[in-house]
Amino acid sequence: MIRPLLAVHSSSTAIVSRGRKRMSHYDTLGVSKDASPEEIKKAYRKKARQLHPDVNPSEDAAEEFKRVTLAYEVLSDPEKRRNYDTTGDEQGRAGYPGGGGYPGGGFSGFGGFEDLLNMFTGGAAGARGPASRMRQGQDDLITVSISLQDAVFGVEKTIERRSAVTCKSCNGEGTAEGTQPETCTTCSGHGFMQRRVQSILGTVMQQVECPDCHGYGTVIKTPCPECHGQGRVREDVPLTFNVPAGVHDQARIRLRGKGEAGLYGGPNGDLYVDLNVKRDKYFSREGDNLVTTVNIPMVAAALGTTIPLNTFDGDQEVAIPAGTQSGDVITLNGLGATVLGTERRGDLLVRIQVVTPTDMTEEQRELLRQFAALRGESLTEGSQVKHRGGLFSRLKDQFK
Q: Which residues are annotated as a binding site for Zn(2+)?
A: 167, 170, 184, 187, 210, 213, 224, 227
Annotated binding site: 167, 170, 184, 187, 210, 213, 224, 227
Length of the chain: 400
Count CB atoms within 10 A of the CB of residue 66: 14
- Longest C-alpha distance within the chain, in Å? 117
Q: Cα–Cα distance between 338 and 160 in angstroms, integer? A: 28
Q: 14 to each of 36, 49, 88, 110, 387, how far by Cα in Å?
A: 21, 26, 5, 22, 88
Find out whether 191 and 130 touch, Cβ atoms under 8 Å.
yes
Q: Cα–Cα distance between 255 and 239 in angstroms, integer? A: 10
Within a 13 Å sphere around the CA of 5, how many CA atoms are in the beta-carbon half?
19
Count CB atoms within 10 A of the CB of residue 48: 19
Find out whether 227 and 233 touch, Cβ atoms under 8 Å.
yes
Instruction: Tell me 1's DSSP state.
Output: -
Q: Cα–Cα distance between 334 and 378 in angstroms, integer? A: 43
Q: Cα–Cα distance between 229 and 245 in angstroms, integer? A: 43
Residue 331 amino acid letter: T
